[in-house]
Amino acid sequence: MRSTLLVSAATTASRFLGLIREQLFAALLGAGYFADAFVVAFRIPNLLRDLFAEGALSAAFIPTFAKVEKEQGPEAAHAVANRVVGAILMVVGLLTLLGVLFADQIVWALASGFFDEPGKAELTAKLARIMMPFLPALSLAAVMMGMLNARRVFAVPALAPALFNLSAIAVGVFLKLAGYPARTAVVGWSIGTLVGGFAQFAVQLPALRRQGYRLRPIFGGLWRDPSLRRIARLMAPATLGLAATEANIFINTQFASTQPGANAWLNYAFRLMYLPIGIFGVAIATVTTSTLARKAAEKDFAGLKAGLSQGLRHVAFLAIPSTVGLVVLAEPIIRLVYQYGRFTPQDTQATAVALAAYSVGLYAYSGVKVAAPAFYALDRARVPLFGSAAAVLTNLALNLAFFRYLGYVGLALGISLGAMVNLLILTTVFRRATREHAAPKGLFAQMVKVALASVLMGAAVWAALQGMDAWIGSMAISAEAVPVRIVRALGGVAIGGIVYAVACRVLRVGEMDEVLAAVRRRRRRAAPASA
C-alpha cells in the first residue's frame, strides 16, 4: 500500500499536468475538424505504444529481468536489458519507418470516414508522420521503467510522464500566446508531443546509471539469448492478450469517423476517465506486477494468489467510488476542465455523456491491468489473449447492434462492457488454476462494502449538486463563470471524498484503515526529523 501510494502521488502529479495539457488542446483546437485529425493521427503510434511499451513489453520484460538478476546477478540482467534495447531499435524502428511510408493507408484503415471531408485525411496522415518516432522513444522508456520497477524503484518512472506533459504544455502556451490559427497550432502540437516522448525516455537514465547500468544496445546474437527468447515467447500472445482496449479503440475510431466531432468527444472523455486509472489502476498494477514477478520466481503460488487478491481489493477501494463520482459529476467536471476557447457548451454535453458511459467500466479497466500480469508471471500468456479476444468480440457486437441508435455513446459503453467480460474471464481462470491454494478471504465482502459506501457517496454528491444549482440560480450568477464551475465540480468532489471516507470507516473497510495507518506512520517518521 505504501508503494502504491508513492506511485499514485507521482502519477497524480503527471495526470493533473495531463489535464492542463488537454485543457490547452481543447482551447486551441476545440472538438471539430483539427481535433479529430490530431486524435486519430496520434492514435497510430499510441496504439502501438500501448502494445509494445506499456503492455506486452513491460509484462514480459519485468519478470524476466527479475529472474535473471536473482539467479545470475546485476551484470547479466543489464546485458539482457541492452539486448532488449537492441531488439527494440530494430523491430520498432522498422514499424516506425513503415508508419511513415504508409501513413495514408493506415489513416484509411483507421478512419475511412475522414476521406469524406476535404483535406482531413491528408492532414491526419501528415500529423501521423511527424509523431511516428514517438513509438521507439516510449518503447525504450518502458525498458528503463521495467528495470527500475523490478528493483522496486517506482518514483522516477512514475514521474517520467510528467516531462511529456510539461513539454506539451510549454508548446501549447507558446501556440496560444502567439495566436496561431488552428491548422498551424495542430502541427506545432504534434512536434511538441514528439519532443515530450524523448524527454520521458531520457529522464530515467540517470537513476539507472547510479545503479551501474550503461545504455549500450546489443544487436548481435539476440535469438541465442534464452532470456530474450522467453520475452519474445511471452510477448507474442501477450501483445494480443493486452490488446483489448487498443483493438476496441481501433474499431471505435472507424465507427466514430463517420460522425464529425465524435472522435474528439470520445478522446476527451477517455482522457479524463483515464485520470483515476492512471492514478489508481496503473499505480496498483505497477506495484502488483513486481510483487507477482518475485512470487512466481520464488515458486510461492499462495503468495501469488494473495498478491493478486490484494491488488484487486485496492482497485475496488479506489475505482468504484471514482466510477460513481464521474457519472454524477460528468457535466460539471467537463465544463470546468475543457470548456474554454474553441470548446463549446455543446461539446461539453456531448463529452459528458461519453464520460459517463466510459466510467461504467472503470473497475474492469483497472482490474485487467492488475490481473493480466499474473498470467505472464506464470508463463500462461494465452489466457489474457482469450480474455482480450472475448472483449473485442463483445465490443464489436455491441457496436454493430447499437451504433445506429446510440451513436458514439454506444461505442464508449461497448468498450466498458468488453472490459468487464475480459476481467471476468481472467479472474475466473486464475481462481480455477490456483484452487489448490487457499483463497484469501474478504474480497467479495470488501467489494460489497465499497459499493455501498460509493452509493451513499453518489447520493450525497447528487443532492449537494442540486442544492448548489438552486443556490447559484437564486443568486443570478452565470453558470459559465469559472468560480461557479470550480464550486460545482470541486465542491462535489470534496463532499464525495468526505462522505466516502466516513462511510468506509463506519462499514469497516480494511483499505481505509491501511491508508490511515500509512499516513500515521509517515507523520511519526516526519516528527523527529522536523524536531
Q: Confidence band (pLDDT; 50, 70, 90) for 357?
A: very high
Give pLDDT tens digits for 280-317. 666 676 667 667 777 776 777 777 777 788 888 888 88
Look at residue 242 in the predicted model and tell me its pLDDT. Answer: 57
Q: Is residue 449 over pLDDT 60?
A: yes
Q: Is residue 407 over pLDDT 80?
A: yes
CB-CB contact of 270 with 418 (8 Å): no
pLDDT mean over 70-79: 88
pLDDT mean over 480-494: 85
Look at residue 188 in the predicted model and tell me its pLDDT. Answer: 92
- State whether residue 477 is helix, strand or coil: coil
Average pLDDT, the chain: 83
Look at residue 438 in the predicted model and tell me its pLDDT. Answer: 55
What's the pTM? Answer: 0.73
In angstroms, rounded to a whole number, what is the distance separating the alpha carbons of residues 21 and 338?
10
Q: Is residue 274 over pLDDT 70?
A: yes
In angstroms, rounded to a whole number, what is the distance separating the alpha carbons of residues 159 and 291?
20
In angstroms, rounded to a whole number, what is the distance separating the alpha carbons of residues 321 and 316?
8
In angstroms, rounded to a whole number, what is the distance separating the alpha carbons of residues 112 and 220?
41
Domain boundaries, the chain: 2-440, 441-521
How many Cβ atoms from other residues are within 10 Å of residue 219's Cβ?
12
What Å distances lie between residue 368 and 53, 161, 240, 277, 425, CA to CA? 17, 22, 14, 11, 10
pLDDT mean over 474-485: 70
How many Cβ atoms from other residues are within 10 Å of residue 203's Cβ?
19
Q: Confidence band (pLDDT; 50, 70, 90) for 102?
A: very high
- Nearest Cα residue to 140 out of 189, 93, 75, 206: 93
Q: Is residue 463 over pLDDT 90?
A: yes
Give pLDDT tens digits for 187-217. 999 999 998 888 888 888 998 888 889 898 8
Q: Any idea which of 43-57, 184-198, 483-497 has the lowest mean pLDDT? A: 43-57
Q: Which amino acid is at 286?
A: T
Look at residue 190 in the predicted model and tell me its pLDDT. Answer: 93
**Cell triple for residue 520?**
500515521
pLDDT mean over 264-282: 79
What Å distances lie between residue 337 and 22, 251, 360, CA to CA? 8, 27, 20
In angstroms, rounded to a whole number, what is the distance separating the alpha carbons of residues 382 and 488?
46
**Cell triple for residue 523?**
507523520
Q: Confidence band (pLDDT; 50, 70, 90) for 58?
A: confident
pLDDT mean over 128-137: 92
Look at residue 37 in the predicted model and tell me its pLDDT. Answer: 93
How many Cβ atoms from other residues are within 10 Å of residue 176's Cβ?
14
Look at residue 420 in the predicted model and tell me its pLDDT. Answer: 92
CA angle 54–392–37, rounded 5-degree value: 65
Q: Confidence band (pLDDT; 50, 70, 90) for 5?
A: low
Q: What is the four-CA torsion angle of 336, 340, 344, 348, rounded to 10 degrees?
A: -20
pLDDT mean over 100-124: 91
Q: Is residue 92 over pLDDT 90?
A: no
**Cell triple for residue 183?**
491548422
Give pLDDT tens digits for 308-354. 888 888 888 888 999 999 999 999 999 988 888 888 889 999 999 99
Burial status of residue 475 (CB atoms within 10 A of its CB: 0-12, 13-18, 19 or more): exposed
CA atoms within 13 A on the CB side of 412: 28
In angstroms, rounded to a whole number, what is the distance separating the alpha carbons of residues 5 and 521?
13
Residue 210 CA, chain-centre distance (Å), reads 29
Q: Confidence band (pLDDT; 50, 70, 90) for 456?
A: very high
In angstroms, rounded to a whole number, what is the distance separating the alpha carbons of residues 412 and 135?
25
Give pLDDT tens digits for 379-401. 777 788 788 888 888 888 888 88
Backbone angles phi, psi at 8, to 5 degrees: -60, -40
